Amino acid sequence: MMDYGLNNKYDNNKDEYVYSTPNNDIVDYKGNKNFESVDFMQEAMIEAKKAYKNLETPIGAVIVRNNEIISRSNNQVEKLKDPTAHAEILAIRKASKDSDYWRLFDCTMYVTLEPCLMCVGAIINSNIKKVVIGCYHKKNSKVDTEVELALELLKLNKVEVEYDLRDECQKLLTKFFSELRKIKNQK
């Protein structure tokens, strides 16, 4: 991460990084107090990198309302021993809990990889209005069919889908699975 002269510390209670200026103003990762200039996909990548460090599939998600991040998470399937602990699901749970309202009508989710069918269902049921995706899910024809179905379900339910394609998102996933294969081959 680039140094923007910020004090950055990891808050274990919130399981996230907290950034502040020398005056203790809370800011985004680049030091912006005005969140309109935040690169929300970059914030989702920060979450994906946390998952990577924890040996989880490196996927991150942030939920934004009125140009402010209201929730962020990363995959925690292994940590929580919960097959539903995908970044999108955990971010939706946190946003709903913190908002005291489960309907997230006015929110946009930024996620580093195309969501699976389970996550698409949660996105639709939480009424998120828009999903911005960082990279395509590249695996096999079965996944392609599932992704096509998931994207079609989003569109049918009037969830706007936008791609903000980032090489960084794809490279992190490729690196993770390459390293995972090496570990499995060593056993």
Question: Are 39 and 45 contacting, i.e. CB atoms less than 8 angstroms apart?
Answer: no
Check 78, 88, 162, 168 and give the catalytic one: 88
Cα 73 from Cα 177, distance rounded (Å): 20
Question: Are 27 and 13 contacting, i.e. CB atoms less than 8 angstroms apart?
Answer: no
Calculate the alpha carbon distances from 50 to 25, 56, 100, 101 in Å: 24, 9, 27, 27
Residue 15: φ, ψ to 5°: 55, 45
88 is catalytic: yes
- Of 58, 62, 49, nearest to 10 by C-alpha is 49
> How is 91-130 classified by DSSP, letter by letter?
HHHHHHHHHT-S--TTEEEEESS---HHHHHHHHHTT--E
Catalytic residue positions, numbered: 88
